[in-house]
Amino acid sequence: MVINVKLMSMFAKYLKNNPDGKVEVEENATVRSLAENLGMPVKLVRIITVNGKQEDLDKVLSDGDLVYIFPPAIGGG
Amino acid sequence: MVTAEEERLLEPYFAQCEPSEIAIERLDQICAQAGVSLRKVEWFAIRRNFIPHRYQRNLGIFFARGQLKLLESTAVMAGLGGLGGQLLEQLGRAGVGKIIAVEPDVFDETNLNRQLLSNESNLGTKKVGEAKKHLDRINRAVEFVGFQCRLEELPDDVWEKADLVFDCLDSIGDRLVLARKCSAANCTLVHGAVAGWYGEVGIVRPGSKMLEKHYQSQREGLEKELGTPVFTAAAAASLMAAKGCRILMDKCQSKQSTMHFFDLLADDWENIRL
């Protein structure tokens, strides 16, 4: 199945082999397995949304889902 | 907002003329003659449908009711750096009536790329002092109280006075202290953070523990690696100002905590409710 993936900020580089954001995954893939397959540093993942709803790394994905993964930001000074 | 005695002093200046727009020179005269603060004179004028010129271009979306609410409001700002300087400018021009700011630092050269209150002539000076000078140049009606100290050293009554608190800090530890202070005072917090092209702005409702969940055990962010350019700080500060003014004017219907993420390089953004 195919997942539509948006990786924000420093995570964007992990989509360099999928510039259209479409990533093929196995049935029953989770956000965690998706992130690991893309080579992402999973421990830095803080916010995940699937089809606009906040989820965690263990969310099981369905064909056509839209997944956003956000890194943390702290700066303000 | 004004006492009965202040109302008695101000009424004659507005009683015998038709409502219209009013210039700053006239407001200053009334302020000096009646012995009432400029903030209160502006508030009273708007109540009588005399609109200060300075707010003319606000009224299309704020309306008189919203402008009055802003003038009545007290905002607490934690941090006067990249986010805080831009935010101070916007809250001041919007006409938020009282701003209490806490910031321990002085300006240095590395601030010049992004911090609106810094310039080549004020390096080494206190940020709270420069904030006061800047605000006095753009809107003297705004009452400003600056604390040059750490967050933990602020007097407790600051939190009781706050209608809204803005998080313009740059460390997770301080952000979590601020979130706890706001929750204890039952006060909503507007959070902002940036890293490179990327930023996040949130509305943190008391008791939601949104920031605690957001940062979890993390202690460092991306900004040291990615830097902090002026446009990302300004974009985040603008979102914070807009969300903050909406809350102060009762134009924010949702009582949920929300987070707004944006990426200026990818032209992408996402909103989530938490």
- We report the CATH number of the domain holding residue B196 as 3.40.50.720
B212 shares its domain with B233:
yes
B-facing residues of A in 39-68 (CB < 8 A) are 46-47, 49, 52-54, 68
Residue B111 lies in a domain: yes
Residue B216 lies in a domain: yes
Position B223 pLDDT exceeds 60:
no
Domain tally for chain A?
A: 1
Higher pLDDT, A53 or B99: B99
How near does any CA of chain A get to the CA of B39, in Å? 29
Residue B64 lies in a domain: no
Residue B62 lies in a domain: no
Handedness of CA B40, B43, B45, B47 (dihedral sign): negative
Beta-carbon separation of B171 and A54 below 8 A: no
Look up the CATH number of the domain holding residue A66.
3.10.20.30
B27 shares its domain with B136:
no
Residue B263 lies in a domain: yes
| pLDDT value for A75 | 81
Cβ neighbours of B208 in A, within 8 Å: none
Residue A10 lies in a domain: yes
Beta-carbon separation of B221 and A72 below 8 A: yes
B178 shares its domain with B122:
yes
- Cα separation of B84 and B96, whole Å? 15
Beta-carbon separation of A71 and B222 below 8 A: yes
Domain tally for chain B?
A: 2
Confidence of residue B272 (pLDDT cuts 50, 70, 90): confident
Beta-carbon separation of B194 and A9 below 8 A: no
Which of A10, A76, A77 has its CB closest to that of B226? A10
Give the residue from B56, B77, B93 where a domain finishes: B56
Residue B61 lies in a domain: no
Instruction: Identify the CA nearest to B1 among candidates B92, B97, B85, B93.
Output: B97
A-facing residues of B in 199-258 (CB < 8 A) are 199-200, 214-216, 218, 220-226, 228, 233, 236
Closest-CA residue of chain A to B192: A76
Q: Is B197 within 8 Å of chain A by CB?
A: yes
Quick one: how many helices (H) and strands (E) in chain A?
Answer: 1, 5
- Cα separation of A70 and B101, whole Å? 30
B143 shares its domain with B260:
yes
Residue B184 lies in a domain: yes
Beta-carbon separation of A75 and B223 below 8 A: yes
B17 shares its domain with B139:
no
B181 shares its domain with B224:
yes
Residue A77 lies in a domain: no
Q: Is B261 within 8 Å of chain A by CB?
A: yes
pTM above 0.90, yes or no: yes
B139 shares its domain with B85:
yes
- Cα separation of A38 and A48, whole Å? 15
Q: Which residues of B186-197 are buried (b: 16+ CB within 10 A; e: fewer)?
A: ebbbbbbbbbbb
Residue A75 lies in a domain: no
Beta-carbon separation of B84 and A76 below 8 A: yes
Q: Is B118 within 8 Å of chain A by CB?
A: no
Confidence of residue B210 (pLDDT cuts 50, 70, 90): confident
Q: Is A10 within 8 Å of chain B by CB?
A: yes
Confidence of residue B143 (pLDDT cuts 50, 70, 90): very high
| ipTM of this complex | 0.78
CA B36 and chain centroid, separation: 24
Q: Is B14 within 8 Å of chain A by CB?
A: no
The 10s digit of each residue's pLDDT in B37-87 is 999 999 999 999 999 999 999 999 999 999 999 999 999 999 999 999 999
Residues 6+ apart with CB under 8 A from A3: A22, A23, A24, A25, A29, A34, A61, A63, A64, A65, A66, A67
Q: Is B95 within 8 Å of chain A by CB?
A: no
B35 shares its domain with B119:
no
For chain A, how big is the Rg over CA atoms in Å?
Answer: 12
Cβ neighbours of B79 in A, within 8 Å: 76-77
Confidence of residue A76 (pLDDT cuts 50, 70, 90): confident
Position B96 pLDDT exceeds 60:
yes
Containing domain of residue B22, as a range? Answer: 4-56
Q: Is B196 within 8 Å of chain A by CB?
A: yes
Residue A13 lies in a domain: yes
What mean pLDDT do residues B179-194 have? 95
Instruction: Identify the CA nearest to B66 among candidates B40, B44, B95, B90.
Output: B95
Containing domain of residue A18, as a range? Answer: 2-70
Residue A36 lies in a domain: yes
B186 shares its domain with B248:
yes
Handedness of CA B249, B254, B257, B261 (dihedral sign): negative
B41 shares its domain with B115:
no
B139 shares its domain with B23:
no
B116 shares its domain with B44:
no
